[in-house]
């Protein structure tokens, strides 16, 4: 091959390379332009508040939230030595312990029932998922009437059996349980729909094979339904766990952290320090601790929980 032909081939290869690079740059620019609205929204409503919170956690602030004195890790030391924050941590973990298993078990039970091929089951599916369309404020008002010490339906029902009225929202022994009960009811709709979708995605041939082998209902539930539903359960447990740590609305509406701070979860403690006591530095430090806590629990969930997930 002559030198002219070699040079022509090299020039052609160089031109092709330049064209590919140009096309790659154009595609990258187009992708960034499509992502630009989302990037702007995430920057304004997520990234900037997160960076600002971490920044304020190292400062004392004035009543308008502007940093005044750099204190380093003093805010973190103060909250971990504060009995109120320690009680908030304990309350939050108890609340998570009440709500996460309760929501999963009740929703799974309802989803298994709604997955049966029965006449009129669509009506019950609608009823079971209806709580998803109710706001936290409206649901809290509804439960406030149910928990009323004299006019509440729960105490009126108990009086039929001769049981004394319970201060659902005023008794420190019952307040956290009452808020957890209302939270389980609020979360059932979403969790039920997700689990029902997971149940309906399981291949029917697995159940047909089990029926041929003479397997019973509970054997199929234990050996087929739960293992095949494990990816959906993993997702639901992770989301429910995160939501439980971020609970605020129902606590604010029902008890405002009382009585005796028995329902003051971490998020409500952050709200109280920031917007009632105007201690934005302390509130930011608590928010950072909550973020780290949720992050660690989520990572543990992915590390240990995903091992038991069975994908089809």
**pLDDT tens digit string along 190-217?**
999 999 999 988 888 888 888 887 888 8
Q: Work out the burial of residue 132: count CB atoms within 10 Å of its CB; fewer than 13 is exposed, 13-18 middle, 19 or more buried.
A: middle
Percentage above 90 pLDDT, the chain: 54
Distance CA 105, CA 111 (A): 10
The tokens for 44 are 């304004």
- Determine the pLDDT at residue 221: 83
Q: Write a three-state SS string for 147-214.
A: CCCCCCHHHHHHHHCCCCCCCCCCCCCCHHHHHHHHHHHHHHHHHHHHHHHHHHCCCHHHHHHHHHCC
* Residue 259, preceding peptide bond in cis (omega within 30° of 0): yes
- Determine the pLDDT at residue 301: 87
Cβ proximity of 92 and 265 under 8 Å:
yes
The tokens for 278 are 């105007």
**pLDDT tens digit string along 252-264?**
999 999 888 899 9
Give the three-class secondary structure for 228.
helix
The whole-model pTM stands at 0.87
Residue 240: what are its φ and ψ, rounded to 5°? -65, -35
Is pLDDT above 70 for 87? yes
- Determine the pLDDT at residue 284: 95
- Determine the pLDDT at residue 286: 96
Q: What is the mean pLDDT of the chain?
A: 89
Mean pLDDT of the 150-164 span: 87
Q: In sequence order, what are the residues at sequence separation of 6 or more whose Cβ sits closer than 8 angstroms to the Cβ of residue 23?
A: none
- Determine the pLDDT at residue 99: 96
**pLDDT tens digit string along 115-145?**
888 888 888 888 999 888 889 999 999 999 9
Distance CA 97, CA 103 (A): 10
More confident residue, 223 or 144: 144
First to last CA, the chain: 57
CA distances from 190 to 114, 197, 198 (A): 14, 11, 13
- Determine the pLDDT at residue 269: 94
Q: Distance between alpha carbon 145 and the CA centroid of its chain, in Å?
A: 26
Q: Distance between alpha carbon 2 and the CA centroid of its chain, in Å?
A: 69
Mean pLDDT of the 25-39 span: 89
Give the three-class secondary structure for 59.
strand
- Determine the pLDDT at residue 6: 57
Cβ proximity of 270 and 233 under 8 Å:
no
pLDDT confidence bin for 65, thresholds 50/70/90: confident
Is pLDDT above 70 for 1? no
pLDDT confidence bin for 8, thresholds 50/70/90: low
């Amino acid at each position: 091959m002559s030198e002219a032909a070699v040079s022509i081939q090299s020039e052609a290869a160089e031109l092709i390379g330049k064209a590919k690079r140009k096309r790659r740059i154009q595609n990258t620019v187009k992708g960034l332009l499509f992502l630009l609205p989302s990037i702007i929204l995430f920057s304004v409503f997520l990234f900037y508040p997160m960076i600002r919170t971490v920044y304020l956690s190292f400062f004392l602030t004035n009543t308008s939230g502007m940093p005044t004195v750099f204190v380093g890790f003093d805010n973190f030391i103060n909250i971990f030595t504060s009995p109120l924050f320690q009680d908030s941590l304990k309350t939050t973990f108890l609340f998570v312990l009440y709500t996460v298993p309760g929501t999963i078990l009740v929703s799974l039970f309802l989803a298994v029932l709604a997955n049966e091929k029965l006449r009129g089951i669509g009506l019950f599916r609608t009823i079971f998922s209806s709580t998803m369309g109710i706001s936290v404020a409206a649901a809290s008002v509804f439960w406030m009437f149910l928990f009323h010490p004299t006019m509440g339906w729960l105490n009126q029902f108990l009086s039929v059996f001769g049981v004394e009225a319970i201060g659902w929202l005023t008794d420190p022994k019952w307040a956290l349980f009452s808020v957890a009960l209302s939270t389980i009811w609020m979360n059932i709709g979403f969790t039920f729909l997700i689990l029902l979708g997971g149940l309906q995605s399981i291949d029917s041939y697995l159940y047909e094979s089990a029926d041929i082998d003479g397997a019973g209902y509970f054997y199929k539930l234990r050996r087929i339904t739960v293992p095949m539903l494990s990816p959906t359960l993993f997702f639901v447990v992770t989301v429910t766990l995160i939501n439980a740590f971020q609970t605020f609305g129902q606590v604010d509406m029902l008890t405002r952290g009382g009585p005796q701070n028995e329902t003051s979860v971490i998020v409500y403690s952050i709200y109280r320090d920031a917007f009632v006591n105007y201690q934005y530095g302390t509130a930011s430090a608590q928010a950072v601790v909550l973020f780290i806590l949720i992050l660690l629990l989520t990572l543990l969930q992915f590390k240990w929980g995903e091992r038991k997930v069975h994908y089809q």
